[in-house]
């Protein structure tokens, strides 16, 4: 794990209109490793594919006007591959949306994933909530995210992508996971986490 580059990624979506599929309106990415820290931040609005649902606008504040002239996700392949390629491990909080939107890239090799939602549930089952914002605020790491990406906040794709990396960094260092194999993060073993918590208490 100490040699791995983790690539945080987050999408904000347009919201599912009746009879239509959700589509991405913003992408945010960044990388983190124990060796080099946080780096390679990237954020972009994405090409308009329809109307943005009113509730989605209320959550992330992105309307159709902000999407005018934005690039398509497919055209951003060099940016995406530049962070997720070369053996980097993708990281997301509840990775389902990210995996689904990345299917636009045919035959993409993005695997395995670290899902910080699954990892935090295994590591901290007694937490009140496991949503990204609540966890980061309650663990005291949200201010670090704000320092890394100033002027942004929750439900901005770059902010949330970096937050997932900051949360991962906190868990790796808090629980001393630096020398474990990557699969300890990819497939969190609740029994192993329970033993680790008891050993630390």
What residues does each domain of the chain span?
6-194
> Which DSSP string do the residues of 64-92 spell out, in sequence order?
HHHHTTPPPTGGGHHHHHHHH-TT-EEEE
Q: What is the pLDDT of residues 86-122, one digit of tens each?
A: 789 999 999 999 999 999 998 877 889 999 999 999 9
Confidence of residue 21 (pLDDT cuts 50, 70, 90): confident
Name the helix (H) or strand (E) containing 38: strand 37-45
Least confident piece of the model among 61-75, 97-111, 127-141, 147-161: 97-111
pTM of the model: 0.94
Q: Where are the strands (E) in 46-181, listed by range? A: 89-92, 114-115
Which of the following CATH numbers is that of domain 6-194: 3.30.420.10, 3.40.50.150, 3.40.140.10, 3.10.620.30? 3.30.420.10
CA 38/CA 197 separation, integer angstroms:
27
Confidence of residue 156 (pLDDT cuts 50, 70, 90): very high
Residue 134 C-alpha from the chain's centroid: 15
Q: For residue 61, give Cα distances in angstroms to 13, 29, 83, 96, 129.
A: 11, 19, 26, 22, 24
Give percent of the chain with pLDDT exceeding 70: 99
Least confident piece of the model among 13-22, 26-35, 57-66, 172-181: 13-22
């Amino acid at each position: 794990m100490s040699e791995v580059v983790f690539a945080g990624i987050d999408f904000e979506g347009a919201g599912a209109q009746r009879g239509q599929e959700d589509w991405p309106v913003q992408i945010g990415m960044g990388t983190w490793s124990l060796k080099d820290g946080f780096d390679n931040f990237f954020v972009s609005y994405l090409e308009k594919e329809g109307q943005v649902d009113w509730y989605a606008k209320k959550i992330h504040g992105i309307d159709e006007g902000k999407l005018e002239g934005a690039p398509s996700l497919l055209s951003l392949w060099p940016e995406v591959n530049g962070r997720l390629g070369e053996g980097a491990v993708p990281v997301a909080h509840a990775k389902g949306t990210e995996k689904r939107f990345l299917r636009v890239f045919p035959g993409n090799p993005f695997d395995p994933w670290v899902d910080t939602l699954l990892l935090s549930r295994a590591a901290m089952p007694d937490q009140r909530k496991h949503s990204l914002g609540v966890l980061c605020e309650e663990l005291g790491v949200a201010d670090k995210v704000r320092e890394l990406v100033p002027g942004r906040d929750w439900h901005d794709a770059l902010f949330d992508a970096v937050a997932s990396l900051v949360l991962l960094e906190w868990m790796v260092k808090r629980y001393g996971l630096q020398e474990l194999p990557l699969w300890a993060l990819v497939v969190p073993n609740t029994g192993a986490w329970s033993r680790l918590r008891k050993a630390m208490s």
